[in-house]
């Protein structure tokens, strides 16, 4: 395993992150999720491979992902060996602090996450979305306060417009509050809109990107038109605003991934993930593994160096599109 700092912060993380959205009890996240027993081999493999950066969220499995993740840390590794990340924003209750990024919500949800995770601190506490109903000053001061209280070590953000992230970051700087060290956003071969505004901003601010869906929900891991996975079939074809997640023109990109993989004699997933990893802003893509080969491919991708001609082939068919999920109510 390779390791790096998260952006320009001092926090050391593995270059592959374990995405824990795949873990939930009672099928609360979907038929494709794994309960604690089924997830055991995945957690054990993560530990064996040196994947020390684990990411979850309060909304995943309605809190059960945090419970499973916390239990796995206690059973298969040590708390001091894991960089533990979680998130808040999405509805976890009907009360005033049950959702959003108000001061009450931040204080209420951080304590609830700590209890479910079975730990007394969170390494990276992330806002899952931008909250237009709460003053930025209120959110950033509350996040600063939970850091100063020792409940959180670092803070991060996820999936928003670059101007929103910039506003929050500069508000914190203006008041001497804790600034974000990470941005968790959608980034893969068929979703590259972050390259326009967000990634240049992250580079300027020294913020590390930890992309979710680096393999486009499996779209770039198998030939175009090949049967999807159980999770892929469960995923919607559009976001909550009706924006398509994938376009027909993405076939050219997928075909290029397949051609390069076949020429190299490696799985398509390694090629697609190697492309994500080559971006200097990316600290660690988040891999939601549900089968052993998911991590095997992810770790192998660290040793794949794409040529300039291969990169050109992978990028030449990209079609600009409207970014998805920024206004989503799903929280995913």
How far apart CA 4 and CA 10 sit, in angstroms, is: 9
Mean pLDDT of 155-163: 96
Q: Is there a catalytic annotation at residue 60?
A: yes
5 sits in the region (left: phi over 0; alpha: psi -120 to 50; else beta) called beta
8 Å CB contact between 9 and 20: no
Beta carbons within 8 Å of 46's beta carbon, 6+ residues apart:
18, 54, 289, 295
Question: Among residues 3, 60, 318, 332, which one is catalytic?
Answer: 60
Report whether pLDDT(281) > 50.
yes
Please name which of 89, 312, 53, 326 lies closest in space to residue 194, comparing C-alpha atoms.
326
Q: What is the pLDDT of residue 32?
A: 75
Locus of tokens 């969170």: 122
Q: What is the pLDDT of residue 23?
A: 94
Beta bridge partners of 183: 157, 209
Return the CATH number of 3-315, one of 3.30.70.260, 3.20.20.100, 3.40.50.620, 3.40.50.1370: 3.20.20.100
Residues 226-253: pLDDT tens digits? 856 655 555 555 655 566 677 888 999 9
As a whole-number percent, the residues of the chain with pLDDT over 90 amount to 86
Residues 85-125: pLDDT tens digits? 999 999 999 999 999 999 999 999 999 999 999 999 999 99
Locus of tokens 């919607």: 236
8 Å CB contact between 72 and 34: no
Boundaries of every domain in the chain = 3-315
Beta carbons within 8 Å of 314's beta carbon, 6+ residues apart:
189, 253, 256, 257, 260, 271, 275, 306
Please give the mean pLDDT across all residues of the chain: 92
The dihedrals phi and psi of 71, each to the nearest 5 degrees, come to -65, -40
8 Å CB contact between 12 and 283: no
Report whether pLDDT(309) > 60.
yes
Locus of tokens 């490696």: 266
Residues 64-90: pLDDT tens digits? 999 999 999 999 999 999 999 999 999
Q: Residue 87: how many CB atoms within 10 A of its CB? A: 26
Please name which of 194, 145, 204 lies closest in space to residue 169, comparing C-alpha atoms.
204
Residues 19-73: pLDDT tens digits? 999 999 976 666 778 999 999 999 999 999 999 999 999 999 999 999 999 999 9
The dihedrals phi and psi of 57, each to the nearest 5 degrees, come to -160, 155
Name the pLDDT band for 331 (thresholds 50, 70, 90): very low
How far apart CA 299 and CA 283 sit, in angstroms, is: 14
Name the pLDDT band for 330 (thresholds 50, 70, 90): very low
How far apart CA 216 and CA 207 sit, in angstroms, is: 23
Sheet holding 122-127, edge to edge: 208-209, 180-184, 152-158, 122-127, 83-88, 53-55, 17-19, 286-287
Mean pLDDT of 198-212: 97
């Amino acid at each position: 395993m390779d390791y790096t700092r998260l952006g320009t912060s001092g926090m050391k993380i593995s270059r592959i992150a374990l995405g824990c959205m795949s873990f939930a009890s009672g099928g609360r996240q979907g038929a494709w999720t794994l309960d604690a027993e089924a997830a055991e081999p995945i957690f054990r493999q993560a530990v064996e491979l040196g994947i020390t950066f684990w990411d979850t969220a309060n909304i995943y499995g309605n809190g059960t992902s945090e419970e499973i993740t916390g239990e796995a840390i206690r059973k298969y590794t040590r708390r001091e060996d894991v960089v533990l990340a979680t998130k808040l924003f999405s509805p976890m209750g009907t009360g005033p602090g049950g959702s959003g990024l108000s001061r009450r919500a931040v204080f209420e949800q951080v304590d609830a996450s700590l209890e479910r995770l079975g730990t007394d601190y969170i390494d990276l506490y992330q806002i899952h979305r931008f909250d237009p109903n709460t003053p930025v000053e209120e959110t950033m001061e509350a996040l600063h306060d939970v850091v100063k209280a020792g409940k959180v070590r670092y803070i991060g953000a996820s999936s928003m417009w670059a101007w929103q992230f910039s506003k929050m970051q500069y508000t914190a700087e203006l008041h001497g509050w804790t600034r974000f060290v990470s941005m968790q956003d959608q980034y893969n071969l068929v979703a590259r809109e972050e390259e326009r505004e967000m990634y240049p901003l992250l580079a300027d601010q020294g913020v590390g990107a930890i992309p979710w869906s680096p393999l486009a929900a499996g779209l770039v891991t198998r030939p175009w038109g090949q049967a999807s996975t159980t999770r892929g079939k469960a995923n919607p074809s559009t976001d909550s605003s009706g924006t398509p997640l994938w376009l027909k023109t993405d076939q050219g990109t997928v075909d290029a991934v397949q051609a390069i993989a076949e020429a190299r004699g490696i799985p398509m997933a390694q090629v697609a993930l190697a492309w994500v990893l080559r971006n200097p802003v990316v600290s660690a893509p988040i891999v939601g593994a549900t089968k052993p080969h998911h991590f095997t491919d992810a770790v192998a991708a660290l040793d794949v160096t794409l040529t300039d001609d291969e990169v050109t082939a992978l990028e030449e068919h990209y079609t600009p599109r409207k970014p998805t999920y920024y206004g989503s109510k799903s929280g995913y």
